[in-house]
Chain A
């Protein structure tokens, strides 16, 4: 190449690199503008994978702590996922990413959070004005004792944990593989290494004394309470049913018989169906889904068959399961793969339509069928489904955008404009004056086809309108840790009828499902609490 061409070539290279950078900056700006559409978590994409043990991470982080403040110490260390971690990660006691809290006697009210990736400090942030709980009055002096008592490293800890609890397996959900934590155990403050994994597909931990390797605790997480409440007086007073002490995932009123309803629960790694015939006071076992259905039902629906019987539908990650008797279940073919999270069945005098919202994956979108064999994709948007008081229409709403609400009936769908993002709705959707909306932004209120005045400003987890709603205007809202509310004027005013659902049925206080079984009988679900138990 002749010298006189070099400036030209170099300038062109600079131009190309500049354009590439500008393109990347534009893509980043777009992504920022899209905001809520971004989905993949990112740790900094570090160089070659270099997993380290707990002790190696501890030493590196303490060395880094010295650069921050002489005498500073890491007081809490935990491994975290790296985006490229396989499900088997951690089986050799090593992890790529670790996170620690560092404290210094010289700055007693400042925490330094540090993330270590592949042996390098990837990120750090300070929180000033606080004091890391640390479980002890002096977390820094606790750290000093940790420093002197760490004869065991994560590979040995995993070996001891599996010897004590061979059932402990690597996680394959959020928290891949085996994880490790080093902390001081209350109340003694003794250093403890905890190995995290799963037991029966639920999170589990095995904690070992870091000095002696003896087992300190083995616990796994499970649902320990929750259940169904019922009301025979228009939602004014609530009582405990006999279906309690378990996680009830969804309830549905029988569309053909007053005071009858169905519930699905999560029990012993199976999905179980219960039925009531007395307005929700007493529930009887109705059947369980096959093991292949998994243990987590997203939603339950009851559709009227052309023959005049009821078909139960359960949406799961494994498919849309169907049964006409509650005992024999099969997967409905024709729907694409993906979690069937929201279901709705709407009816006309001689026909019905079932709607299924697939909420993740390549096939996400809203699907409809009138025969449960042939399915049509209505939209690729992920929409939540709210049924009208008479089960004749569904308002399919986007919780993040105002652009794509649909009003669906058995044989029609109308795009609804200017409704705003909506989490759920109740009432008569053919009449804006009789529709109650819950906005994800503002609260709960009558829609009235205009900018609503939000009348219920508490976290709400469920809404239902009475079957005689046009006459009674009765709506009930299940609160998210905020009680139960009722309105007898279509959402213009609200009355709190139950302050604490756990005073009736022990649970999380998250009343995420409410259903009318007749014009004066209701049932509601108080969610289950996640509790750590010994295993």
Chain B
């Protein structure tokens, strides 16, 4: 082996093969595609999302394959991560911050009215003490906590936005 490595051509060939294999492995594990769709915002509502886990800031909903079989994103698994442009949110303590990753743990728009790759991002379940625990578009009565912000206001202000994002 030592004698073989002394051959200049052979050294370069082995290096090329090794580098190529490393490159191939990297390609296999870093996989993402970009999508575009409407983003809407929601807050309060059910404590549990469609997946059965408690929805939190940083979670999102999209279509379900049973209701929207034509939407390729409807087949993504629970827990799927998407990367988005920075989206401002307010924590329960009242601090503004921004997120650019969201996880799939809820579903909605059962009529598929918002088109493929629709995303509904969750702004939390916060209200100021004494305010209504209601936010349009989510089951009533909602489920929420007293906090230093009202996340329904944030969802309403976010409204609707066409975004390009990356996912599986």
Residues of A within 8 A of B (CB): 3, 6-7, 10-11, 13-14, 17-18, 20-21, 24-25, 28, 31-32, 34-45, 78, 80-83, 97, 99, 109, 111, 113, 115, 123, 125, 127-133, 135, 173-175, 179, 181, 183, 186, 194, 196, 203-205, 219, 221, 224-225, 247, 249, 296, 317, 339, 341, 359-361, 364, 382, 399-400, 423, 440-442, 458-462, 480-481, 500, 502, 506, 508-510, 512-513, 527-532
The 6 nearest A-B residue pairs measured at CB: A359-B70, A7-B9, A10-B13, A129-B97, A80-B79, A461-B113
CB distance from B125 to the nearest CB of A (A): 8
Among candidates A123, A135, A219, A512, residue contacting B111 with C-beta atoms closer than 8 Å: A512
| CA gap between A508 and B37 in the complex, in Å | 21
**Interchain Cβ contacts under 8 Å between A and B, 21 examples:** A13-B17, A17-B20, A17-B24, A21-B24, A28-B31, A36-B72, A38-B72, A42-B168, A83-B77, A128-B97, A132-B56, A174-B107, A175-B52, A181-B53, A196-B52, A361-B69, A480-B160, A502-B140, A509-B136, A512-B113, A530-B46
| CA gap between A127 and B100 in the complex, in Å | 8
The residue of chain A having its C-beta at the shortest distance from the C-beta of B96 within the complex is A129
CB distance from A176 to the nearest CB of B (A): 8
CB distance from A461 to the nearest CB of B (A): 4
**Contact assessment for A127 and B31 in the assembled complex, using a CB-CB cutoff below 8 Å:** no
| CA gap between A440 and B34 in the complex, in Å | 17
**Could you say which residues of chain A place their CB within 8 Å of the CB of B111?**
249, 461, 510, 512-513, 527
Interface residues of B in 10-30 (CB under 8 A from A): 10, 13-14, 16-17, 20-21, 23-24, 27-29
The residue of chain A having its C-beta at the shortest distance from the C-beta of B45 within the complex is A529
Among candidates B17, B29, B37, B75, residue contacting A39 with C-beta atoms closer than 8 Å: B75
| CA gap between A132 and B115 in the complex, in Å | 31
| CA gap between A379 and B53 in the complex, in Å | 41
For the complex with contacts A175-B52, A361-B69, 6 further pairs of A-B residues with Cβ separation under 8 Å are A28-B31, A42-B31, A131-B93, A175-B78, A204-B52, A339-B70
CB distance from A430 to the nearest CB of B (A): 25
CB distance from A232 to the nearest CB of B (A): 25
| CA gap between A512 and B78 in the complex, in Å | 26
**Contact assessment for B97 and A130 in the assembled complex, using a CB-CB cutoff below 8 Å:** yes
CB distance from A358 to the nearest CB of B (A): 9
**Contact assessment for B35 and A35 in the assembled complex, using a CB-CB cutoff below 8 Å:** yes
| CA gap between A20 and B23 in the complex, in Å | 11
| CA gap between A488 and B38 in the complex, in Å | 27
Could you say which of A39, A442, A502 has the most chain B C-beta atoms within 10 Å of its C-beta?
Answer: A39
**Could you say which residues of chain B place their CB within 8 Å of the CB of A127?**
58, 99, 101
| CA gap between A173 and B67 in the complex, in Å | 11
CB distance from B80 to the nearest CB of A (A): 6
**Contact assessment for B91 and A125 in the assembled complex, using a CB-CB cutoff below 8 Å:** no
- How many positions in chain B have a CB within 8 Å of any CB in the partner chain? 84
**Could you say which residues of chain A place their CB within 8 Å of the CB of B76?**
41, 174
**Contact assessment for A531 and B56 in the assembled complex, using a CB-CB cutoff below 8 Å:** no
**Contact assessment for B124 and A133 in the assembled complex, using a CB-CB cutoff below 8 Å:** yes
**Could you say which residues of chain A place their CB within 8 Å of the CB of B89?**
130
**Contact assessment for B139 and A131 in the assembled complex, using a CB-CB cutoff below 8 Å:** no
CB distance from A416 to the nearest CB of B (A): 19
**Contact assessment for A462 and B160 in the assembled complex, using a CB-CB cutoff below 8 Å:** no
**Contact assessment for B46 and A532 in the assembled complex, using a CB-CB cutoff below 8 Å:** yes
Indicate whether A480 sits within 8 Å of B51 (C-beta atoms), given known contacts A14-B17, A130-B57, A508-B137.
Answer: no
Among candidates B40, B74, B75, B98, residue contacting A480 with C-beta atoms closer than 8 Å: B40
Indicate whether A317 sits within 8 Å of B69 (C-beta atoms), given known contacts A35-B35, A481-B136.
Answer: yes
The residue of chain B having its C-beta at the shortest distance from the C-beta of A204 within the complex is B52
**Contact assessment for A459 and B40 in the assembled complex, using a CB-CB cutoff below 8 Å:** yes
**Contact assessment for A80 and B77 in the assembled complex, using a CB-CB cutoff below 8 Å:** yes
Could you say which of A179, A219, A440 has the most chain B C-beta atoms within 10 Å of its C-beta?
Answer: A440
**Contact assessment for A205 and B48 in the assembled complex, using a CB-CB cutoff below 8 Å:** yes
| CA gap between A204 and B103 in the complex, in Å | 20
**Contact assessment for A529 and B140 in the assembled complex, using a CB-CB cutoff below 8 Å:** yes
CB distance from A382 to the nearest CB of B (A): 5
The residue of chain A having its C-beta at the shortest distance from the C-beta of B24 within the complex is A21
**Could you say which residues of chain B place their CB within 8 Å of the CB of A179?**
52, 78
CB distance from A452 to the nearest CB of B (A): 16
